[in-house]
Amino acid sequence: MSDLLSGGYRARFLAVMLLVNTFNFADRAIFSALGQAVKQDLLLTDTQLGLLQGFSFALLYAVAGIPIGRLAERGSRVGIIAVAVTVWSGMTAACGLAMNFWHMMLARIGVGIGEAGFSPPSSSLVSDHFGSDRRASALAIIALGSPLGALVGAVGGGLIAGEHGWRIAFFALGAPGLLLGLIVFLLLKEPQRGLADGVLASEPPPPMSRVLAALMAKPTFVHVVIGGAAAGLGMNAIGHFLAPFLGRVHALDIRSAALWFGLVSSASLAIGLLIGGLGTDRLARHDRRWSAWGPAIGLALAAPLYYLGFQQAELLPALAFIFGGAIALISHYGPLLGIVQNLAPPRARASAAALVGLVFAIFGVGLGPTLVGILSDHFATQSFGEGFAAACPGGRAPAGASELFQANCASASAAGMRTAFSVMVLAFPWAALHFLIASFTLRRDLHTA
């Protein structure tokens, strides 16, 4: 079993987890990139589009995460991941069959159930392959699947949709992931709990109630979870609607909006994850509080950068500010995951990840896109006047409408999204404050083997 701590095997483990996470985020990014096309084809409101990206995905994602986390404390974490990637890939392909809002909601629920099987077991596996001083770096490397997935899902999906329609794009992105479960099963092995800590955990996992009580007794955990949830609220709200924002506010077609969304998202995610994960691990060797100070600084910078980006009239200045804001924002993610794993004992790490995932799924993935969709509809109605949804189905004027009416629908739709985004940036300074507070008790609350 000590072979699982060798450099060669750990490199293989990170490569496979990176590949899995790439498909995880590709299957999310494609919906964000093609949301405007889906909205117009199925005649959806922004509230419905937000529900499809938010609560329809997140509720069962959150609920399923707890039993999956408990199962990961007892059973094969590698097997759970292999099954999960097969399920979410199949349900992504099924999104291409949707004929209305309810069909799409069922498919998105299936994607959420599948993706709930990745984070708890993968975080626990990382902790058994890497020591506490390298976990944020390892988690950040795996999290690089998010920019790669954003690039594959957004750019690839946008190009395919531009040529063959959004339905074919969902089929094309979902199908390859069906082979990935077999790759996971064949290439990875299940380590003993506590392997990297040098103290093998043979006792049974504690009850979830005890895990929750122990973690909630640590102020660091409470504030990191609140800060992460607030950051996730704004991050998911903006991320899931960024391609529609670019299409409406800067008048880009589906391929151009998806391309810019994919390029900005993937590059900013990669840079932010590396700065946050590797940089914070290095600084934390001198003072462990940098694990919380780093996210606090990044989140404090994200708010003004994003706000300036949303107010720009020209595309390139807007993208430059949004790009900087995204780098600052995502830098919190690797350190956050590392702190949670370092606060929990080996037999409770998958459960801790599941608990955190529950909160983040509800308030970040669930509430974020749903809230921004509601706000966008509200502000669009304020701009247009009562009856916006009926007068502009799918956010655009009906066929045969005058040029003036078409312009009014487009202007109101753009104004609604711009104002909703400007409101959502308030989540970031709130999150920064909680990470700063967490730094006061961090060193005391860390788990010691």
pLDDT in tens, 15-55: 998 999 898 888 777 887 788 788 888 888 888 888 887 77
Q: Percent helix, strand, coil in the chain (nearest 5)? A: 80, 0, 20
Find out whether 322 and 264 touch, Cβ atoms under 8 Å: yes
Quickly name the fold that domain 2-193+207-445 has: Growth Hormone; Chain: A; (1.20.1250)
pLDDT band at 67 (very low <50, low <70, confident <90, very high): confident
Q: Which of 114, 59, 58, 66 lies closest to 86, judged by CA?
A: 114
Q: Lowest mean pLDDT of 1-5, 93-97, 417-421, name the range.
A: 1-5
pLDDT band at 199 (very low <50, low <70, confident <90, very high): low
Residue 367 confidence (pLDDT): 85
Go through the chain and tell me how many residues it has. Answer: 449
Q: Which amino acid is at 31?
A: F
Taking 60 as the threshold, does the pLDDT of residue 201 lie above it?
no
CA 68 to chain centre: 19
* Arithmetic mean of pLDDT, 392-415: 86
Count of alpha carbons within 13 angstroms of residue 323, beta-carbon side = 15
Q: Which of 250, 48, 240, 282 lies closest to 150, judged by CA?
A: 240
pTM recorded for the entire structure = 0.72
Q: Which of 233, 249, 239 lies closest to 395, judged by CA?
A: 249
Q: Could you tell me how many helices (H) and strands (E) the chain has, helices first?
A: 24, 0
Instruction: Please provide the average confidence, as pLDDT, over all residues in the chain.
Output: 84
The values of phi and psi at residue 387, to 5°, are 90, 15
Alpha-carbon span 54 to 371, nearest angstrom: 9
Find out whether 336 and 221 touch, Cβ atoms under 8 Å: no
Alpha-carbon span 4 to 203, nearest angstrom: 21
Per domain, the residue ranges of the chain are 2-193+207-445
Find out whether 351 and 204 touch, Cβ atoms under 8 Å: no
pLDDT band at 286 (very low <50, low <70, confident <90, very high): confident
pLDDT band at 428 (very low <50, low <70, confident <90, very high): very high
